[in-house]
Structure 1
Amino acid sequence: MARGKRSNGEGSVYQRKDGMWIGAAYVLTTTGHRKRVTVSATSEEEAWKKLRKKIADSDAGIPVSADNWTIEGYLKYWLDNVVSTKRPRTVEGYGAVVRRHLVPGLGAKKLQRLSAQDVRTFLTRLRHDCRCCADKIDAKRPKDARRCCAVGECCGQVLSDRTVQQIHAVLRNALQHAMREEVIPRNVAKLVQVKSPRYDVHRGLDADQARKLLKEAESDRLKALYVLALYLGMRRGELLGLRWTDIDWDGWDEPCGPHADEFCEECADRYFPSLQVRQTLQRVGTKLVFVPPKTDRSERSTPLPPLVAEALIEHWDRQDDEAEAADAWEDSGLVFTTPQGGPIDPTYLRASWYPLRKRAGLDGVRFHDLRHSCVTLLLRLGVPPHIVRDIVGHSAIDVTMTIYASVSLQDKREALKKLTAELG
């Protein structure tokens, strides 16, 4: 049957020589202007259906992209113009996720056509496919060293839930920026839920283990570093980026109160020196760089108990001796340095940490677990969570309570004893 005259804005559908049906209409774009867009289908009915969907979205205020981006093209634009302004480690981490996972998995797809189903399928594939097979890692090894997919014996090396969550987060952040710039109408990655990783929250030291560690650290040149890590819960980068100018010794060795003629150790707690966390040391690629602390709350001021202050003074004296003995001393101004005065590579800190933890019988304990130990011990001593949060510089109290505040069986026993006593 012959069609009647089409109304203005209805668009048109025609058949190409190859048999495909093409629909065309002018719709709203992300720049606020209207442009001609086309859809294709194997039948006239399907072409009209797709075209009416485009027109209906336009009438509802949902624009189409003014640029014909691929996922790979937009991610490159996003890395170069948005992520490049962030912290160096963030730039490095986002770039690695884009190169290793997002571009190989989704790069060729049109940004405007990316759907929640595409994202879900991609993440499922990452979670279940052996990465050794998918990336042909085994095939790149010498023939006599191949032991997996290349010889028909899949090792089942899949990504962890944490890694999949990170990949999803990078894609979600990129698409959110594309939506803010009105390149796409919505963020389809937000429609896909990923499995949250389970954090192991039982890796901290108890009080006896912490005392043993400090005893074993007495002869270590970095003893003060371990004291700060356990007492103040400082991060590795914060410790290695700490400068002497970040410590305020005001009043520490001055006469006080009734003992006006000499410094009184009994009153030392009135004159706690303080420590400012102002920067952190990170390795980015082949360089060591100083960057601002992890979050706004990470930049903090913390009082130093006398024991911690004494450990720092002892370390200061040792550093002066090393400076005099060194052939060429690098005056970096840092509290914790190499024997030549330069910054300590965060990776190389393990040369001190691994032997120390072995002597203390703590094999398998990570350096970061000292921070966890500080939080856990403070909470068990009844210190309010908001104070613990400010001491260690957590971004939110939820982090303090959810990830770090592990509950031991002894804690549960004591709680149930109280309930039993109350109920008789």
Structure 2
Amino acid sequence: MARTRRTKGAGSVFQDAKGTWHFKRYLGTDPMTGKRRVIEVRGKSKAETRARYEAKLADYERTGLLPNHNSPTVADYAERWLADYRTRVKPNTYTTRAGRIHACCQLIGGIRLNELTAEHIRLCMRALAERLAPSTLKDHYVSLKMVLDQAETDELIHTNPMRKVKPPRVEPTPTTILEPDQPRRLLEAIPTSMGTNRHGPTDTTDDKEMWALLFEIAFTTGLRPGERRALMPFQLETRNGIHGVNICQQIQRVF
């Protein structure tokens, strides 16, 4: 009986010496790395392995890792992009970027990438502009552009429609600077204003002194909260007779 050869690109199915079934398929070359991409699953039975293989294949097609007749939606591709972005940036950076992209996806996430137009994006930006400051809105614009730039690189869209959309205009705003006596007045008010009309435990004298010290450090050094909370004795330095703080670390949330 003649053996039937599998269609090119259909992948391979085999059982190894230990009885484990393997379903493997080559997905071509990754346009970013130039390396071959492979999808492979294993299982104890052929039926179980096939089901896992088809589920993984469907997920690849849904997110655009594997081309098919249906383009992935903006939301599905954005989740794939964020999963990769998360491995390259700090937790706080990821959290901020993910929030911007998810806000955009609430408006245009259901549209398929190959059907997304510049007008869709303009409508999205106008809707967000009703509740966001211009600078925050521009960051949403930049975040969405990063996702669609990658979709263009992945050849899921021919041209990024963001190129036809002007970025939100951000007017420069003057920086508000405290009057010379305002920090002093605040520091003087802390010991008497804290712990008088609050629910729960009342701050002790040591607590109040610590709060006063934190405010004083903030005003005199300009340190951000994460930098202040990470201060260690070794960061206190004296250079050329001048006392100062060497800022080299800060506290950040980790996943």
| TM-score, normalised by the number of residues in structure 2 | 0.56
Q: Which among 188, 196, 216 is matched to residue 227 of structure 1? A: 216
Aligned CA distance change for structure 1 residues 238 and 186 (closer, same or farther; 3 Å): farther
Aligned match of 1:75: 78
Aligned match of 1:166: 139
Aligned CA distance change for structure 1 residues 104 and 217 (closer, same or farther; 3 Å): closer
Greater radius of gyration (CA): 1
Secondary structure in structure 2 of the residue aligned to 1:221: helix
CA contact (8 A) 1:217 1:226 kept: no
How far apart are residue 168 of structure 1 and its match?
Answer: 1.6
Secondary structure in structure 2 of the residue aligned to 1:248: strand
Matches within 5 A, 1:363-374: none
Aligned CA distance change for structure 1 residues 121 and 86 (closer, same or farther; 3 Å): same
CA contact (8 A) 2:141 2:168 kept: no
Aligned match of 1:111: 113
How far apart are residue 160 of structure 1 and its match?
Answer: 3.6
Letter in 2 for 1:72: A
> In 2, Cα distance between the equivalents of 1:83 and 1:106?
22
Tell me the number of residue pairs that the alignment of Structure 1 and Structure 2 aligns.
174
Aligned match of 1:203: 176
Letter in 2 for 1:125: A
How far apart are residue 91 of structure 1 and its match?
Answer: 1.7
> In 1, Cα distance between the equivalents of 2:238 and 2:129?
52
How far apart are residue 89 of structure 1 and its match?
Answer: 1.6
How far apart are residue 217 of structure 1 and its match?
Answer: 5.9
Aligned CA distance change for structure 1 residues 180 and 243 (closer, same or farther; 3 Å): farther
Aligned match of 1:357: none
Secondary structure in structure 1 of the residue aligned to 2:181: helix
CA contact (8 A) 1:119 1:192 kept: yes
Work out whether 1:278 is the aligned partner of 2:251: no
Secondary structure in structure 1 of the residue aligned to 2:111: coil
Aligned CA distance change for structure 1 residues 111 and 276 (closer, same or farther; 3 Å): same
> In 2, Cα distance between the equivalents of 1:193 and 1:112?
20
> In 2, Cα distance between the equivalents of 1:105 and 1:127?
13
Letter in 2 for 1:235: R
Share of identical aligned residues, percent? 22
Aligned match of 1:356: none
How far apart are residue 116 of structure 1 and its match?
Answer: 1.5
How far apart are residue 231 of structure 1 and its match?
Answer: 2.6
CA contact (8 A) 1:71 1:106 kept: yes
> In 2, Cα distance between the equivalents of 1:246 and 1:181?
46
Q: Please, which runs of 5 or more residues in structure 1 have no aligned partner? A: 1-29, 32-64, 129-157, 251-269, 283-287, 291-424
Aligned match of 2:161: 188
> In 2, Cα distance between the equivalents of 1:202 and 1:245?
33
Letter in 1 for 2:84: N
Q: Which among 214, 219, 237 is matched to residue 248 of structure 1? A: 237
How far apart are residue 161 of structure 1 and its match?
Answer: 3.1
Letter in 2 for 1:86: V
Secondary structure in structure 1 of the residue aligned to 2:251: strand
The one of the two structures with greater contact order (alpha-carbon pairs below 8 A, sep at least 6) is 1
Letter in 1 for 2:148: L
CA contact (8 A) 1:281 1:289 kept: no
Aligned match of 2:99: 96
Matches within 5 A, 1:118-133: 118-128=120-130
How far apart are residue 214 of structure 1 and its match?
Answer: 4.6
> In 1, Cα distance between the equivalents of 2:234 and 2:254?
18
> In 2, Cα distance between the equivalents of 1:182 and 1:114?
14
Letter in 1 for 2:176: R
Matches within 5 A, 1:9-408: 66=67, 68-99=71-102, 101-128=103-130, 158-198=131-171, 200-216=173-189, 220-248=209-237, 270-282=240-252, 288-289=253-254
